[in-house]
Amino acid sequence: MNSTMKVERFLSLPVLGVLSVMLFLYYTTIFILLDDWVGLRTSPGTLNSFFFTLFASLSLFSFFICVLTDPGHVPPSFYPDVESTNAKDDAEQNKCDKCFGYKPPRTHHCRVCRKCVLKMDHHCLWINNCVGYWNYKAFFDFIVYATLASVYSTVVFISCVLQKEWGHIKESSLKFFYVMYGTMVVGLTLTLLSLTGWHVYLILHNMTTIEYYEGNRAKWLAAKSGQSYRHPYNNGAYKNITLILGPTMLKWLCPTAVSHLKDGVSFPTIRDNS
């Protein structure tokens, strides 16, 4: 992908909206709420400013990585490893009817990007990009840091509200601003907490969002025939984490630490461990 195409990804209303919300949240938290609560020139003010700026900066950096990183597309030379007749039949069934090429395991066609995406999780409107094999870690780190920043802003907001003497404040515009900001930041925090919790669950089970819904259908079909179904890529919680976030715990929240990722066309399964 050339530099022009990368820049064009930011020329999207949802992406610009995310950047605007992040800027508004940062300015309001630091220069209005925190300054009003403890003062920016005090030791508590400096310390709180540092930590909130750290979370906000890491969130912004991870967001940029999400937007700019190609999620991963099928190599033109890819051909499934087939030896038996049944395997050949399976390979033919796993051809994309839109790209007309073979799809590796866990690959899905994105109707928005018009390409097959390796280990596709979903197409995200807010990053104007697919979330797939190569940028899933950056996406997860982004929502983690965004959640931390949002929770931090909520705590600062509540602390500021509690120390104010509202009986002596007659300006209705100031009260309206606090109500609006409180509604926004609390709603954002709850949304991000839910989203982070969802992806923690997916990582622990080594699933994508698509595979979760496919798995539910597979369980239902298996139950109808008196069988059981288990997600084939679930290798145990810790192993799943290391496969997605990396073997080094200190690098789990570093969006650019992806040296542990392979080619995105083959994945260890339960059978490999048995």
CA–CA separation, 254 vs 58, rounded Å? 9
Q: Which of 66, 116, 124, 160 is catalytic?
A: 124
DSSP-based three-state secondary structure for 133: coil
Cβ neighbours of 180 (radius 10 Å)? 10
The DSSP secondary structure of 63-120, one letter per residue, reads HHHHHHS---B--TT------SHHHHHHHHHTB-TTT-SB--TT-EEETTTTEEETT-
Q: Residue 166 class from Cβ within 10 Å (0-12 exposed, 13-18 middle, 19+ buried)?
A: exposed
Locate all alpha helices (DSSP H) within 164-236, ordered by sequence: 172-204, 209-224
User: 99 an active-site residue?
Assistant: no
H or E element that contains 229? none
CA 127 to chain centre: 10
Cβ atoms 200, 141 nearer than 8 A = no
Cβ atoms 72, 130 nearer than 8 A = no
Q: Return the active site residues.
A: 124
